[in-house]
Amino acid sequence: MRVAVTGGGGFLGSHLCEALLRRGDEVVCLDDFSTGDPANIAAFLGNPGFELIRGDVSRSTDVRGTVDAVAHLASPASPPDYLRRPLETLAVGSRGTENALRLAARHDARFVLASTSEVYGDPEVHPQDESYWGHVNPIGPRSVYDEAKRFAEALTQAYRTHRGTNTGIVRIFNTYGPRMRPHDGRVVSSFVVQALAGEPLTVYGDGKQTRSFCYVDDLVRGIIAMLDCDEPGPVNLGNPVELTVLELADLVIGLTGSGAEVQFHPLPVDDPTRRRPVIARASERLGWVPEVTVEDGLRRTVRWFAGRPDDVAAALAA
Ligand code: NAD
Ligand code: UDP
């Protein structure tokens, strides 16, 4: 297959590019590096099966030659990133998604949208399966991301229904691992960087809010399973093991052997109280279940960050 990966220079996208190249696919990566890092894909640049198109997919998704599949991952994902780039986030969720859908439609290619558990907002139903419509504040600060993704889902579904495009939607729950930017502000990267430096871990609110953390290799396997079939979705992809933020802090402190303490900070506006995916659909339709335990995934993540002491120090100074 020749696969176009928008956002291929980011955390998830670069792992997806790598896994596709490893199995012999060709990859066209489209990225403007607004929240990604060229270092994530530097190792693939010499690979004849890999092509990089640097640019904003909200403007263009022109690709030379044919593509068999489009994985649309371009979008800021970390709350500090999308709060810093609100209009760009709405643009890439709307215009960027339409450009990526047009690319797929032009080539009669499979299209997979990287949607998010954020479409469930601050859920009134727990755990969340795909039939839940969500509880999102349409004018709150997070709406630039949540509503962009909800619109992206609606557009994807409309291309399927009205244009016959072979689309699929995955709703990704919190995912972590190597290549997260050390200063991207997400909870796993922040806690690991802080613990390695012996700095206090910044817990927002009382730390009793929950998330369910999936290791990146598991998640990428799920996206590839979705690319390889005709399933329309939406399909939740996430690890159903639910942790409070305080439990996560304790785990990270334990795994780093750090003497760091926790320090409480105000809870961001509209921060969801709890999050846990029901993954029965992914298991039945994609044969997908996560395999990496949180302890093992965090251990691998800690090892990766520990190997980059300069980046860790720079992130703390920022
Ligand atoms: P990331 O910020 O590391 O990667 C996003 C990539 O998209 C970056 O390389 C960025 O430069 C690129 N990008 C952003 N806007 C662009 C534009 N207009 N044109 C071209 N490139 C653009 O984030 P990530 O964690 O890798 O997330 C990837 C995708 O997965 C996003 O769509 C995100 O919403 C979704 N997702 C991620 C998670 C998670 O926990 N990591 C959870 C749910 C959904
Ligand atoms: N969080 C935290 N400290 C941090 C960063 C995040 O306590 O330094 C909390 C945040 O308030 C949220 C959870 O951790 O309740 C997950 O945050 P993240 O930004 O990683 O993902 P999202 O909010 O998008 O699920």
The answer to whether the CB of 11 is under 6 A from ligand 1 is: yes
| Burial (CB count <10 Å: 0-12, 13-18, 19+), residue 200 | middle
Give me the sign of the Cα torsion angle 260, 264, 268, 270.
positive
- Any idea which ligand is nearest the CA of 79? 2
pLDDT of residue 22: 97
Task: Say what the ipTM of the complex is.
Answer: 0.99
Q: Considering just the CA atoms, what is the radius of gyration of the chain in Å?
A: 19
The C-alpha atoms of residue 229 and residue 190 are separated, in whole angstroms, by 36
pLDDT of residue 308: 87
Nearest CA among 154, 286, 296 for reference residue 225: 286
pLDDT of residue 21: 98
pLDDT of residue 315: 83
State the closest ligand 2 atom to the C-alpha of 268, by its place in the atom list counted from 1. 11
Tokens of 115: 């949607």
State the closest ligand 2 atom to the C-alpha of 117, by its place in the atom list counted from 1. 25
The set of residues, in sequence order, having a beta carbon less than 8 Å from that of 48 and lying 6+ positions away, is none
Contact between 241 and 294 (Cβ < 8 Å): yes
Q: How many other CB atoms are found less than 10 A from the CB of residue 263?
A: 11
pLDDT of residue 316: 82
pLDDT of residue 318: 77
pLDDT of residue 71: 98
pLDDT of residue 310: 84
Cα 163 to middle of ligand 2, angstroms: 38
The answer to whether the CB of 260 is under 6 A from ligand 1 is: no
Residue with tokens 């109280």: 273
pLDDT of residue 317: 82
Helix (H, G, I), strand (E, B) or coil at 106: helix
Contact between 78 and 186 (Cβ < 8 Å): yes
Cα 186 to middle of ligand 2, angstroms: 6
Nearest CA among 148, 287, 151, 170 for reference residue 232: 170
Residue with tokens 């439990």: 247
Kindly report the protein residue whose alpha carbon is nearest to atom 25 of ligand 2: 174
Strand ranges of the sheet holding 235-237, from the earlier edge strand across to the other edge: 50-54, 26-31, 2-6, 69-72, 110-116, 167-172, 235-237
- Any idea which ligand is nearest the CA of 77? 1
Measure CA 293 to chain center: 18
Cα 174 to middle of ligand 2, angstroms: 10
pLDDT of residue 259: 87
pLDDT of residue 141: 95
Tokens of 111: 């299209």
Kindly report the protein residue whose alpha carbon is nearest to atom 21 of ligand 2: 186
User: CA angle 134-104-72, nearest 5°?
Assistant: 45
Catalytic residues: 145
The C-alpha atoms of residue 136 and residue 230 are separated, in whole angstroms, by 29
The answer to whether the CB of 9 is under 6 A from ligand 1 is: yes
- CA torsion, ordered 235, 109, 60, 48, to nearest 10 deg: 100
Kindly report the protein residue whose alpha carbon is nearest to atom 33 of ligand 1: 77
For a ligand 1 pocket test, name from 73, 84, 151, 226 the mutation site with the most ligand atoms within 8 angstroms of its C-beta: 73
User: CA angle 311-312-314, nearest 5°?
Assistant: 60
The answer to whether the CB of 222 is under 6 A from ligand 1 is: no
Cα 73 to middle of ligand 1, angstroms: 5
For a ligand 2 pocket test, name from 83, 118, 186, 190 the mutation site with the most ligand atoms within 8 angstroms of its C-beta: 186
Tokens of 51: 């092509």
Per-residue pLDDT of the chain (318 residues; tens, 9 = 90+): 999 999 999 999 999 999 999 999 999 999 999 999 999 999 999 999 999 999 999 999 999 999 999 999 999 999 999 999 999 999 999 999 999 999 999 999 999 999 999 999 999 999 999 999 999 999 999 999 999 999 999 999 999 999 999 999 999 999 999 999 999 999 999 999 999 999 999 999 999 999 999 999 999 999 999 999 999 999 999 999 999 999 999 999 999 998 899 999 999 999 999 999 999 999 999 999 999 999 999 999 999 999 988 888 888 887
Kindly report the protein residue whose alpha carbon is nearest to atom 18 of ligand 1: 56
